[in-house]
Amino acid sequence: MTTPATFRPKQSVGVVGVSSKTLYRWAKAGYIRIYKKGGCSFFKTDEVVAHIETAGG
């Protein structure tokens, strides 16, 4: 199975192994960005993975 380039918050546990609540907390702290298109929020997988690796998460 290939990893998607982007994912929706509800997919977070399956894609990167952290909850959507954690992603929103990281975004609020400025560690990652929330992208929006057509009223939908999504995250870039490579940005989230990079933060996890940097933070030792």
Question: Could you state, in chain order, the average pLDDT of each consecutive group of 10 residues for the chain (57 residues)?
Answer: 89 95 97 96 96 84
Can you give the pLDDT at residue 3? Answer: 83
Is 23 a member of any domain? Answer: yes
Could you tell me if residue 27 is inside a domain?
yes
User: What pLDDT score was predicted for residue 55?
Assistant: 85
Q: Which pLDDT value is given to residue 1?
A: 62
**Residue 16: inside a domain:** yes
**Across the strands, what pairs with 42?**
35
* pLDDT at res. 33: 97
pLDDT of residue 57: 57
Predicted TM-score (pTM) of the model is 0.87
- When divided into structural domains, the chain yields a total of 1
SS3 16: helix
Is 38 strand, coil or helix? coil
Please indicate, yes or no, if residue 19 is contained in any of the structural domains: yes
Domain span at 39 = 6-55
